[in-house]
Chains A and B, each alone.
Chain A
Amino acid sequence: MNRIVAKRELAPKIKLIEVENAGIAAKSRPGQFVILHIGEKGERVPLTIAGANPAKGTIKLVFNEVGKSTQQLGTFDAGEEILGVAGPLGNPTVMENFGTVVCFGGGVMIGPLVYEVDAFRKVGNKVITVIGARMKELLICEEELRALSDEFYVCTDDGSEGHQGLDFLKEVFERGKVDRVLVMSVSTATLQAVSEITRPYGVKTIVSLTPLMLDGTGMCGCCRVSIGGQTKFACVDGPEFDGHEVDWELLESRKRMYSSEERISALSYKVFGKEFALLKETA
């Protein structure tokens, strides 16, 4: 169980793995996440599911090697096993025929967006897909999404491919009626910016939030977010919420709570590498 059957680099530091877990593959729905436990001393790492193949019994995960745990996960080769994978956790995306749906994916979350676009199409929606990244080199899944979508747009922060910035999105909403928007990004700024663009149009805008998590089953409250003034746990009440109701400042502030420890962790991994893993548990 949890064997990596395929691994691919999609962009510098962005990797896709396909993991064998028949139970999760059978139950997984777009919008849900898994928690990986990659080693005995490891963290519990939440990752949004980027696809599932129930027949083959595998799920797809896309991750960006930014911190210690994702860097370590990046060293796993096809054939190796992940110690533990729990899921599918969180609530699935509400999947209905809304009419016209705009699906926005930023950076590494373009991976899970593929799963969503495919599902929205299958229930009969017209899907307008927009993907964005900092620069051309970091765009992923472009061809796959272009083929799946009714309309397809690309944007980059530096303008190296497609539109520069998010302003062009307004034109999409001006051009025709949009019934629903889904925004996936690990960047709070992006989620907020897209939600602000859609607000004047009164379109229900669903955002997938990625706060820090620990157990992912509603036990600890680490992932609490404020939605319309109410505290919610992203793991069991979310991870998707109404983007027009999110307290963005709090979300971003809580996400940065451990930034200094994250640096220490990444640095010790860089310096000591696998030797750390060999240290005996002292208690």
Chain B
Amino acid sequence: MTKPNLNQVPMNKQEPNVRRYNPYEVALGYTYEQAIEEATRCIQCKKPGCIDGCPVAIDIPGFIKALAEGDVPGAAQVIWYTNSLPAICGRVCPQETQCEEACNLAKKGAPIAIGRLERFVADWVRENPDESGIFKVKLAKPTGKKTAVIGSGPAGLTCAADLAKLGHRVTIFEALHLPGGVCAYGIPEFRLPKGIVRADVNYLTSVLGVELKLNHAVGKLITVDELLCSGYDVVFLGIGAGAPIFLNIPGEDSKGVYSANEFLVRLNLMKSYLFPVFDTPVKVGRRVAVIGAGNVAMDAARWALRVGADEVYIVYRRTEAEMPARLEEKENAKEEGVIFKQLTLPTRVISDEHGWVKAMECLGMELGEPDESGRRRPVPVEGSEFIMEVDTVIPAIGTQPNPLVPRNTPGLETTGWGTIKADENGRTTKLKVWAGGDIVSGAATVISAMGAGRRAATAIDSWLRDFS
């Protein structure tokens, strides 16, 4: 047996000084040759760890084998068997803590670039729809059951796709005017082009026969109980954790303070980077402070650069080592010129006489003893108050569940955090209602929401066959 190649084929990216001025995708993807070369590195282990590392359990060695043999349609068949949204997952999954972490090659060198290969196959399918055969699926015999999926984010889309493949009739209800949930309003164009989200949703509606109702705010226009009374056999709630969390510091209502959600909704959903061709504006100052250091914070910071800010800071109360964002996103942000201001806690937003942000008062921090999360707790340094001159402040310290549906659904129990109580298969305390994704787990990842959508679909399917 030949010695395995321990070096990944690198993927082309837009140069930092180019991409920080445009909204286009940063990572350019593998070429066919690069993909084949990377796929051939896979040693096809007898006990692959990667499948267990994948929340939707894609047969990873299976698709890579097909790809290494040049059989891209074959690889696509394997992926689509368990994942209806691979173009999205290939781009935004944290592979380094999932499949790629579990790759046996990672013990000695670089793991197989599973995400990049998945992305390559998915993009190839989108460009070669006829050759791929993906769009000629045979659906199961119609069961005559009607299901309602609330929310068209990763959990809802996955649950809908699975239910449709199993022969159930599926209607998705989306409150906004575009489908995709966080993939549409949250993740930036430069990480996940919206054309890809459209194509993946299109697969559900045109191939799997899923009905999509936009501008339908469940909880307002129609309640869960009304859906159950009007002929839907079950309801799946994939409504996400869409409500913003503010810092709760004085001055936060000043003009120039955006929740990360608002900033990203303006740019991603409303395309305000194209104002005035698109009607919704966004105002970004010269010096921008993004508070928090997760992926959403990186997204907001990198958008701020792209829409004209001169200096963009990530303001974080711990140090770079504790930042929750993916390594890749941190590196991308740094390369583009985002400045990491660590051990800093904002305590007050200061505005000018017209109500616009002009500065932020901060406290210096140091790391103390580890807290319950295992990370060292940041504690304020006495007398370390200082002023940061900024004109835009974007708190990106997480999101919480939107209470619109739970509040209007009697019998649906929630936790103290506002998340919906559900078992591991998504079954809630209310008969015929399942839930999954961020509304159950609290803010997490696209792929974990998809995993929850899948488990719920399986549970719903067996319940429908047994009890209704």
A residues near B (Cβ < 8 Å) are 23-24, 27, 37, 41-44, 68-69, 83-89, 214-215, 217-222, 224, 226, 231, 236, 250, 253-254, 257-258, 261-262, 264-265, 268, 276, 279, 281-283
Contacts and interface: CB of A to CB of B under 8 A. Distances in A.
A224 B246 CA distance: 11
Contacts of A85: 215
Contacts of B277: 41, 276, 279, 282
B281 A258 contact: yes
B45 interface: no
A214 B217 contact: no
B176 A268 contact: no
A220 B355 CA distance: 20
B11 interface: no
B244 A219 contact: yes
Contact of B261 (A37, A83, A220, A236): A220
Contacts of B255: 253-254, 257
B279 A68 contact: yes
A85 B177 CA distance: 9
Given A68-B279, A219-B261, A258-B281, A37 B215 contact: yes
A219 B253 contact: no
Nearest to B355: A253
A41 B279 contact: yes
A221 B262 contact: yes
B189 interface: yes
Interface stretch (B268-276, B382-390, B448-456): B268-276
Interface of B: 23-24, 175-177, 185, 189, 193, 214-217, 220-222, 242-244, 246, 252-253, 255, 258-259, 261-262, 265-266, 270-271, 273-281, 283, 354-355, 402-404
Contacts of B258: 222
Contacts of B177: 37, 44, 83-84, 86
Given A214-B266, A283-B24, A221 B244 contact: yes
22 contacts: A23-B221, A41-B279, A86-B217, A86-B221, A88-B221, A89-B220, A214-B270, A215-B175, A218-B243, A218-B403, A219-B185, A219-B265, A220-B261, A220-B262, A222-B258, A224-B253, A231-B252, A258-B281, A265-B275, A281-B271, A282-B274, A283-B24
Contacts of B355: 250, 253-254
Contacts of B216: 23, 86
B259 to A, nearest CB: 4
Contacts of B271: 41, 281, 283
Contacts, number: 128
A231 B216 CA distance: 27
A68 B265 CA distance: 20
Nearest to B194: A283
A136 B197 CA distance: 52
Contacts of A219: 185, 242-244, 261, 265, 402
B399 to A, nearest CB: 9
Contacts of A87: 217, 220-221
B246 A217 contact: no
Nearest to A38: B279
Contacts of B220: 27, 87-89, 217
A56 B252 CA distance: 45
B259 A221 contact: yes
Contacts of B265: 214-215, 219-220
A42 B354 CA distance: 29
B303 to A, nearest CB: 13
A27 B177 CA distance: 19
Contacts of B253: 224, 226, 231, 250, 254
Contacts of B278: 41
Contacts of A261: 275-276, 281, 283
Contact of B23 (A68, A257, A276, A283): A283
Shortest Cβ-Cβ A-B pairs, 10 listed: A261-B281, A220-B262, A86-B215, A253-B355, A43-B279, A221-B259, A84-B177, A37-B177, A84-B215, A41-B278
A255 B252 CA distance: 15
Contact of A265 (B189, B281, B283): B281
Contacts of A43: 270, 279-280
Contacts of B222: 23, 27
Contacts of A68: 279
A281 B273 CA distance: 11
B404 to A, nearest CB: 6
A214 B402 contact: no
Contacts of B279: 41-43, 68-69, 265
A246 B299 CA distance: 34
A231 B246 contact: yes
Contacts of B221: 23-24, 27, 86-88
A220 B175 contact: no
A217 B404 contact: yes
B285 to A, nearest CB: 12
Given A219-B185, A220-B259, A220-B265, 6 more contacts: A41-B277, A44-B280, A215-B185, A219-B244, A221-B246, A265-B276
A200 to B, nearest CB: 28
B276 A222 contact: no
Nearest to A83: B177
Given A27-B220, A226-B253, A86 B262 contact: no
B243 A268 contact: no
Contacts of A217: 175-176, 217, 220, 242, 402, 404
Contacts of A236: 403-404
A258 B283 contact: yes
A44 B270 CA distance: 9
A218 B217 CA distance: 11
Contacts of A276: 276-277
B28 to A, nearest CB: 15
A199 B242 CA distance: 37
Contacts of B252: 231
Contacts of A257: 255, 283
Contacts of A214: 262, 265-266, 270, 280
Contacts of B266: 214
A261 B176 CA distance: 24
A16 to B, nearest CB: 22
Candidate in A24, A37, A276, A283 with the most chain B CB atoms within 10 angstroms: A283
